[in-house]
Structure 1
Amino acid sequence: MTSLRRRLLLWLLPATLLTGILASAATYWGALAELDDLLNDQLKAIARHVVVDADGRLSLKGVHGKDEDRLSGQQSHGVLVQVWRGSTPVFSSDPDSVIPPPRGPGLADVTVNGQLWHTYVSRNGDMLVRVAQVQQARWEAVAEIAVHLFWPVLSLIPVLALFLWFGIGYGLRPLREVVASLKRRDANNMQSIDTEAVPGEVKPLVEALNDLLQRLDEAFTTQKHFIADAAHELRTPIMGLGLQAELLPRATSAEERETIVAQIRTGAARLAHLAEQLLTLARLSPDSQAPISDDVDLTALARSVVSDRARIALANQIDLGFVGTSRVTVTGNADNLRILLNNLVDNAIRYAGAHARVDIIVRQEGSCAMLEVCDTGPGIPEAERARVWERFYRGSDHAASGSGLGLSIVQRIAEQHRARISLENGRDQQGLTVQLRFPATQPDGVNGRLTNDTV
């Protein structure tokens, strides 16, 4: 398991070490530039302290005491002192260091055998006193300074690692508190986590968890209500089937036996329809996987539904037809849209009553596609229209059998397709019109009304 503390430590420690190295390097190059000026001033100061006697003897004041062996320009803390009379050397503190004669007083850089010498020459009577130091010696002096600066940084890494380890642990404590709070909960506790004492960096995570808990709570509540309602609705047809099954062996005549068998078939069909509707509603739940969308021809879909439901409509003495003035295409899932239209047509056939008329209308209205299912039945009272979208609600004035899930399924599919659905009065304020409005492409072609008499 990857540790966030270890990951932060592995990033921060190398970053700190790299920062220390870069700081030491910057100090080295900065000190090198400053040291050049400082050592040039030192060369001038030493040159001024060199005294040449009349007989050519050399004496030094305040330069490395009386130990002239240390006056070597090859050493990091030493300098080379030479006395020249014209081009003739009179004195050299380091005979092994050979430098050409000076050209005149002042600062000068001389390259000898690939080495750069920084020199300063002063005039003392008829003699020239030169103080020199090789560039490599200066670099060694600066390197010693850089090492002295780098070692404290390197030695502080264990201490820094210790502080980072406990500091990161302290910073992650709010996460551990959130984890502990969640572990203490049971499966039914979906209460939001308090975000007042949560740091700003952790707050988005806690808010996302709260949002997830809220959605889970809503999903579990919906599932509980769904299971309870389904169990309630399934109980009646199952009990009816059981009762009819008990009465069947007791039938005393063939006519009574046929009546019971017919009731069993009706109950089984109702139970199968209810189970199918429940499965469809579960498949269309908001948490389910989004269906595959494509261009769907509503005109062709409406014709197909009219053809499929024509015999059922004739059996119920319903005039079922399609009215289309244009070819309308929407983006959606063809199977789900077919389920939507089938449920609307089935509801209209079931509740409109004998000799009623049911029309499927597909048209274009501006940039919106319109799908309407109109009937001339008794309609739905205004007071009940808000409740018909609820699961298992069938209204109080309808004797027709049904599951009460058709419009709930229609509403789910409409939401999937971002369609607005509404219930309106039918033509001449008679019957009911279920209207769906959602974006579509421009129409083309013209069609008339297709009825179950012409299918």
Structure 2
Amino acid sequence: MKSLRRRLLIWLLPATLLTGLLASAATYWGALSELNEVLNDQLKGITQHVVVEPDGHLALRGMQGANEDRLSGEQSHAVLLQVWRGTLPVFSTDRDSSLPPPQAVGFSDIEVNGQLWHTYVERDGELLIRIAQAQRAHWEAVAEIAAALFWPVLSLVPVLALFVWFGIGYGLRPLRQVAAKLKRRGVDNMQEIDTTAMPAEVKPLVDAINDLLSRLDHAFTAQRQFIADAAHELRTPIMGLGLQAELLQKAPGPREREAITGQIRTGTARLAHLAEQLLTLAKLGPESPAPVFVDVNLGALARAVVGDRIRHAEANEIDLGLIAADVVTTRGNADGLRILLNNLVDNAIRYAGAHARVDVIVGRENGCAVLEVRDTGPGIPEEDRTRVWERFYRGEAHNASGSGLGLSIVRRIAEQHHARISLGSGEDNRGLAVTLRFPHD
């Protein structure tokens, strides 16, 4: 399992170490010029300790034993002291030194046997006092200072790692608390998690979880309502079929048995239609995959649907017709639009009544593809037009049998296609007109 704490530690420690090194380097380079000045001042200060006594001998004030130490100037904490009278050496802390006689007072760099020396010369009467230090020794002193800057940073890494490890753990505590709360919850608890005291970094995640819980609650509520409504709607035809089966056994003659058999066929057809509508509505749920859209010829689709329904319309004494432009296309899912149009035509045939006319109209209006199903039946009262979209609602102004799911299916498919759907009156304010306006291509 990947650890967020370990990942943050792996990123933070090198970054912190690199920052420390860069800070040390910046401090080093910033102090280098100051260090050079300090070392130069040290060279100048040493010359002040050289005293020429009246008898001509040299004395080193405050530097007893310097002559015996044979300071060569090649160590980081040592310098070479020489006294010259003209070109003749008078005194040197390193008798083996091969530095040439000084040429002028002040600071200068001279190279002897491939080694660079940094020197300072001061005149005292006829004597020239020179303090020298090898450049290599000079850089060793600088390196010691750099090491003194680096090791404290390096030694802090374990301490820093410990603090970062526990600091990250403390920072992730709200996530563990959220996980613990969710683990203790019941399966039916969809209440939102309180975000009042949540850190700003954790709040977006908790808000997303709350949004998911809200959507799950909505989906579960809709599913429970759908199952309850479906069970209620299925109970009546199933009980009717059971009752008709019992009556069939008790029928006194062939005529009664034939009548009961016809009722059983009708009930079976209604039950099959209801089951088919329920399955269709379940497939069109919000959690179902998005349909694949292609260019659909609405005219050809309408002709196919009218051809499939023409015999059903004739059996119900309905005049079913088609009014379509040459070519009207839109982006959509052909199967979904076929189900939509089948339901609209089926509803019109069921509820328009005998001798009514049902027209399927395909055209364009203001650049939008328009699909309309219009009938000359009793229509739907104004007060019921907002409720007919509800599942299993059939109204009370008709005697036709149906599942009450047709318009719910139509609305869901229209939403998938971002089409505007409206209910209006048919021709001469008679009947019902269901109109769909698809978006611009």
Kindly report which structure 2 residues correspond to 1:27-46, keeping only aligned pairs within 5 A, or say none. 27-46=27-46
Q: Where does structure 1 lack aligned partners over 5 or more consecutive residues?
A: 442-455
8 Å CA contact 1:324–1:363 kept in 2: the answer is: yes
TM-score (norm 1): 0.91
8 Å CA contact 1:32–1:139 kept in 2: the answer is: no
One-letter code of the match for 2:399?
A
8 Å CA contact 1:27–1:146 kept in 2: the answer is: no
* CA pair 260-140 structure 1, distance change in 2 beyond 3 A: same
Kindly report which structure 2 residues correspond to 1:298-447, keeping only aligned pairs within 5 A, or say none. 298-441=298-441
Q: What's the CA shift for 1:231?
A: 0.5
Count of residue pairs brought into register by the alignment: 441
Partner of 2:7: 7
**Identity score, percent:** 72
8 Å CA contact 1:318–1:356 kept in 2: the answer is: yes
Distance 1:26 1:67 in 2: 39
* CA pair 209-65 structure 1, distance change in 2 beyond 3 A: farther
8 Å CA contact 2:67–2:93 kept in 1: the answer is: no
Distance 1:64 1:263 in 2: 132
Partner of 1:447: none
* CA pair 63-421 structure 1, distance change in 2 beyond 3 A: farther
8 Å CA contact 1:71–1:93 kept in 2: the answer is: yes
Deviations 1:203-262 (A, max 9, x none): 111111111111111000000000000011111111122222233333333333322222
* CA pair 95-279 structure 1, distance change in 2 beyond 3 A: farther
Deviations 1:289-336 (A, max 9, x none): 101111111122112111111111122121212212352221111110
8 Å CA contact 2:66–2:93 kept in 1: the answer is: no
Partner of 1:92: 92
Distance 1:296 1:70 in 2: 104
Choose between structure 1 and 2 for higher RCO, CA contacts under 8 A separated by at least 6 residues.
Answer: 1
Deviations 1:171-229 (A, max 9, x none): 22222221222222211111111111111111111111111111111000000000000
SS of residue in 1 equivalent to 2:75: coil
Q: What's the CA shift for 1:350?
A: 0.8
Partner of 2:279: 279
SS of residue in 2 equivalent to 1:21: helix
Alignment RMSD (CA, Å)? 2.0
Q: Where does structure 2 lack aligned partners over 5 or more consecutive residues?
A: none
Q: What's the CA shift for 1:83?
A: 2.3
8 Å CA contact 2:13–2:157 kept in 1: the answer is: yes
Partner of 1:444: none
Partner of 1:261: 261
Q: What's the CA shift for 1:70?
A: 5.6
Q: What's the CA shift for 1:115?
A: 2.8
Partner of 2:128: 128
Partner of 2:297: 297
Check if 1:106 corresponds to 2:112. Answer: no
Q: What's the CA shift for 1:128?
A: 2.1
One-letter code of the match for 1:282?
A
TM-score (norm 2): 0.94
Q: What's the CA shift for 1:414?
A: 0.5
Distance 1:427 1:318 in 2: 16
Q: What's the CA shift for 1:65?
A: 5.7
Deviations 1:126-185 (A, max 9, x none): 332221112222222222223223333333333322322222222222222212222222
* CA pair 304-63 structure 1, distance change in 2 beyond 3 A: farther
One-letter code of the match for 1:311?
R
* CA pair 369-68 structure 1, distance change in 2 beyond 3 A: farther
SS of residue in 2 equivalent to 1:118: strand
Kindly report which structure 2 residues correspond to 1:175-190, keeping only aligned pairs within 5 A, or say none. 175-190=175-190
Distance 1:381 1:185 in 2: 47
One-letter code of the match for 1:346?
D
Distance 2:295 2:430 in 1: 34
One-letter code of the match for 1:279?
L
Q: What's the CA shift for 1:53?
A: 5.2
Partner of 1:142: 142
Distance 1:96 1:356 in 2: 130
